[in-house]
């Protein structure tokens, strides 16, 4: 049913994403699908990486570790954004098109008052793409 699963990851908060990472891996094994871990970064130095190439290497190592630990095939895909915080929806939409994923599995937060003002990133992807989107509460 699914061939490629895109999993957006924030490398600073992987511990809070464990349930979503587990669900994605389980679906990948069940459908013999590959997982593409997507990370969005800016071109400016951050606390995570000094250069985009360093970020890409950390994302690649994360994907390799997940594949080995959870028993599925995996790749990584980096998206560079001028402002990752405000342009995250566009960056994830671009990544979805570039990777050709047909399912997105992503961690989500508990709903709060701001969700009435701004749509969630997962909700935006679901509204503006042909891919299925699964939101996993931690």
Q: What is the pLDDT of residues 70-108, one digit of tens each?
A: 999 999 999 999 988 889 999 999 999 999 999 999 998
pLDDT value at residue 42: 92
Domain that holds residue 74: 4-137
Angle at 71 between CA 92 and CA 58, to 5 degrees: 45
The pLDDT of residue 115 is above 70: no
pLDDT value at residue 81: 93
Beta carbons within 8 Å of 34's beta carbon, 6+ residues apart: 3, 4, 5, 28, 72, 73, 74, 75
CATH number at residue 83: 3.40.50.620
Q: Which two tokens stand for residue 100?
A: 């050709």
pLDDT value at residue 113: 54
For 55-71, how does the pLDDT look when each residue is reduced to its tens digit (9 = 90+)? 999 999 999 999 999 99
Strand order in the sheet with 34-41: 74-80, 34-41, 4-8, 103-108, 132-137
Average pLDDT over residues 24-52: 95
Give this prediction's pTM: 0.91
Measured CA to CA, the distance from residue 72 to residue 128 in angstroms comes to: 28
The mean-pLDDT minimum among 12-21, 81-90, 107-116 falls in 107-116
The count of domains in the chain is 1
Specify the higher pLDDT residue, 63 or 118.
63
Measured CA to CA, the distance from residue 78 to residue 48 in angstroms comes to: 14
Side-chain half-sphere of 113: how many Cα atoms within 13 Å?
A: 0
Measured CA to CA, the distance from residue 112 to residue 134 in angstroms comes to: 19
pLDDT value at residue 110: 53
Q: What are phi and psi of 35, to 5 degrees?
A: -115, 135
pLDDT value at residue 124: 75
């Amino acid at each position: 049913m699914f061939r490629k699963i895109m999993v957006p990851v924030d490398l600073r908060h992987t511990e809070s994403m464990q349930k979503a990472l587990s669900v994605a891996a389980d679906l990948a094994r069940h459908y013999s699908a590959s997982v593409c871990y997507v990370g969005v970064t800016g071109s400016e130095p951050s606390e995570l990486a000094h250069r985009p190439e360093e970020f890409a290497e950390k994302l690649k190592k994360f994907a390799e570790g997940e594949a080995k630990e959870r028993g599925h095939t995996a790749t990584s895909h980096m998206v560079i954004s001028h402002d990752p915080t405000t342009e995250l929806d566009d960056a994830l939409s671009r990544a979805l098109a570039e990777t050709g994923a047909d399912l997105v599995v992503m961690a989500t937060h508990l709903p709060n008052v701001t969700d009435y003002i701004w749509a969630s990133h997962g909700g935006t992807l679901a509204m503006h793409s042909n891919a299925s989107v699964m939101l996993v509460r931690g």
